[in-house]
Structure formats: C-alpha cells, structure tokens
Amino acid sequence: MIYYIKLYLASFAAFFALDMLWLGLIAGNFYKQHLGFLMAPGVNWYAALIFYFLYILGVLVFVVVPGLTDNTFALMLVRAALFGLITYATYDLTNLATIRDWPLAVTMVDLLWGMVLTTLVSMAGFFAGRWMA
C-alpha cells in the first residue's frame, strides 16, 4: 500500500507542476483571450484539487499500474495519450455542444494538452514506479 501512495504522490506532483506551468505561464493568456467572459476572478481550489485527486487516480488505475504490471512502456504511452484525449474531450466537447460561443480553438488546444499532459505524467509515474520497485 505504501508503494501505491508514493506512486500516487509522485504522479500528483508531476501533474500539478506541469498543469500550473501550462495554466500559469504558457497558456494563461490564451484562456483569458478566449474564455475571459466565462472565467471566475479566482480559482476554486477545492474543485480544482478534487479534479486533480480524481484524475491522478484514473491515470494510475487505467494507465500507469497496468503499464507497470505488464512492463509495457510503449503500450502505456498509447494508453496515456488515449486516456488524456478521452477525458479532456469529455469536458471540452460537452462544452462545445452546450455552451454558447465556446471557442473551437480552446477545445482543440485542450485535447492536445490533455494528451501531452497525461502522457508526461504517466511517464513520470511509470519511471517512479520502476525506481521504487
């Protein structure tokens, strides 16, 4: 159980750091430009942390642990990209379908970011899991 807690914490740290880099430095202005009319003045950290906690659980259950169990790095990368695409598509395509003036550009950027972020975090989790084993 300690192994899985450490694996979770390592993956969570990677996800949080990368997402903060993305949202804070790289794409923050992009989102303000396209979604400023919808954005709250501040982050609801309770909701954000619940998302992070649940997302990392999904990454571990569906991507990292199966990759470690099977010792299949290449397949783990495919699962990671697919998991990122599907999960981010769930959010963004629902918004595109239901929210007036939801920008297609945001959806496209988010789908790509979901794939990249999830793949990088899964790699971090995979290598952390190997190192701790």
Q: What is the DSSP string of 63-85?
A: IIHHHHHHT-HHHHHHHHHHHHH
Rg from Cα positions in the chain: 16
Cα distances (angstroms) measured from residue 85 to each of 78, 89, 99:
11, 6, 20
99: three-class secondary structure by DSSP: coil
Say what the pLDDT of residue 5 is.
97
Say what the pLDDT of residue 92 is.
98
Say what the pLDDT of residue 81 is.
98
Say what the pLDDT of residue 57 is.
98
For the stretch 17-67, pLDDT in tens is: 999 999 999 999 999 999 999 999 999 999 999 999 999 999 999 999 999
Say what the pLDDT of residue 60 is.
98
Q: What is the pTM of this model?
A: 0.95
- Residues 24, 52: Cα–Cα separation, whole Å: 16
For the chain, domain boundaries: 2-132
Two tokens at 46? Answer: 């309770």
Rounded (10°) CA dihedral 45, 82, 78, 106: -70
Say what the pLDDT of residue 6 is.
97
Question: What mean pLDDT comes out for the span 9-13?
Answer: 98
Cα distances (angstroms) measured from residue 82 to each of 33, 66, 85, 111:
28, 14, 5, 10
For the stretch 77-111, pLDDT in tens is: 999 999 999 999 999 999 999 999 999 999 999 99
- Residue 101: phi and psi, rounded to 5, are 65, 20
